[in-house]
Amino acid sequence: NKVDMKIYCQSQKGLRNLLRIQKEIMVDSPTNTLTLSGLLTHAEGNVLVFGKLASYWMKKNSQILYAMNIAFDNKIYYQVDLSEYKAERIDVEVLRATLTFFNHFYEDKTQTFSVEPVLICDNYYLDKDDAKNKIILNKIASGAAHEQSEDQYFKDVDEHYNVCCQLFDSGKWDIDVLFERMCSHTVEIATHAKAYYETGKMYMPEYVMLPDEKKKYGNRHRMFTRLLEEGLTAKIPSYGHAKYRERLKEEVYIIESTNNVDYFLIQWDMVKKARELGIVTGIGRGSAGGSLVSYLLGIISIDPVKYDLIFSRFLVPERCGLNWTEAVSIIGEDIELLPGERYVEVQIEGKDYQFNKDAEFQIIRNGRQMKVYADQLREGDDILFDNRDLLWTLNEINK
């Protein structure tokens, strides 16, 4: 039997479990449902809230309910949502299910619930006047709009309280106490929701090089730049190289600085394989058409320079975690050590690097930012490197 429920993550462990639950529903299950074993296995760190029509199922499956309570560490609730529907039959169904819950799961003598009620309203729009938007979106998605309501907007606490006063018997219930009890669980779930996504970290997997690619290019970064050179030679006439290289330099810098080299290599590999298998690929969807890198790699078929398309529409540096700094040390010819030159050895994050003694660095020393030569560096100086160099260049220069 199927039963409607909601899962709210509370911790990082809960978030990981929630993602696995989502995978089982949307990827593994042909019916887009979650198995009981999948639910119990991934309960840790989450809160379970049974849907407003679930009371009948809960009443019939006390043993499963007990197992769920253990798995979720006593954090299971029943959703109280008394929003009004346009169809009276739906209102009757919801009210009867709610009545079943309060009759069956409340112990009058001890004034306790075996499953606590929580006030959670299914909100689909901010204001009551926006109810039509849900109908339109439902029809676009599935061709129909079932369970229509103009009452599923974001209500304030007074509106919720007034509804409870109208529907609960004041002779049987202390409505103020009951309402506060249901609200306290809502607040508790929200307060303990500590899960978060680390937005400043790149989660894109690294491109895995094939043996022949390693032999030809050496590493992923060199493969990326060499593929671009190959694409430039193959697609752009030599008289236009200067103009294209200027645009390419700008794009590559941003791609390297935002740690997106692997993303482009993976896309290159996917499109190349699709074409080998005879799978049709698009010419370039949306803002992707603004990337010269994508064009030279063969990911798209649109030349953005020819049509004056903007790269920043495709990849916005700030959204990828790149913080621009006015004065940084950018590794170039002055920093790289040439054969026979005098050098200064600098340790950065446990690794030793050799730099030309006259290389210029932007540093923080005693709280002040300044520019010094390599042979003027002192222990404790904080070198301000360009983000691209931290990600790529430091791993490639002489050590």
* C-beta neighbour count of 187 within 10 angstroms: 11
At 399 the pLDDT is: 46
d(CA 362, CA 8): 47
Locate CATH 3.20.20.140 in the chain. Answer: 5-122+156-191
d(CA 77, CA 181): 12
8-state DSSP, 336: S
Count of all residues that appear for the chain in the document: 399
Q: Is the pTM of this model over 0.75?
A: no
At 284 the pLDDT is: 84
At 328 the pLDDT is: 53
Q: How far apart are the first and last CA of the chain?
A: 64
For residue 365, the cross-strand partners are: 368
3-state helix, strand, coil in the chain (%, to 5): 45, 15, 40
178 CB contacts (<8 Å, ≥6 apart)? 117, 164, 168
Does 5-122+156-191 carry CATH code 3.20.20.60? no
At 350 the pLDDT is: 79
Spell out the per-residue pLDDT of the chain, length 399, in tens. 889 999 999 999 999 999 999 999 999 999 999 999 999 999 999 999 999 999 999 999 999 999 999 999 999 999 999 999 999 999 999 999 999 999 999 999 999 999 999 999 999 999 999 999 999 999 999 898 889 999 999 999 999 999 999 999 999 999 999 999 999 999 999 999 999 988 767 778 899 999 999 999 999 999 999 999 999 999 999 999 999 999 999 999 889 888 889 999 999 999 999 999 999 998 888 888 899 999 999 999 999 999 999 888 777 666 555 555 555 555 555 455 566 667 788 887 778 888 878 888 888 999 898 888 888 888 888 888 777 777 777 776 654
At 88 the pLDDT is: 95
Residue with tokens 């299971």: 76
At 317 the pLDDT is: 65
At 204 the pLDDT is: 81
Please give the structure tokens belonging to residue 349. 């994050």
Residue 211, judged by CB atoms within 10 A of its CB (0-12, 13-18, 19+), counts as exposed
At 325 the pLDDT is: 52
Measuring CA to CA, which residue among 41, 47, 50 is closest to residue 21?
41
b (16+ CB within 10 A) / e for 38-68: bbeebbebbbbbbbbbbbebbeebeebbeeb
d(CA 72, CA 215): 52
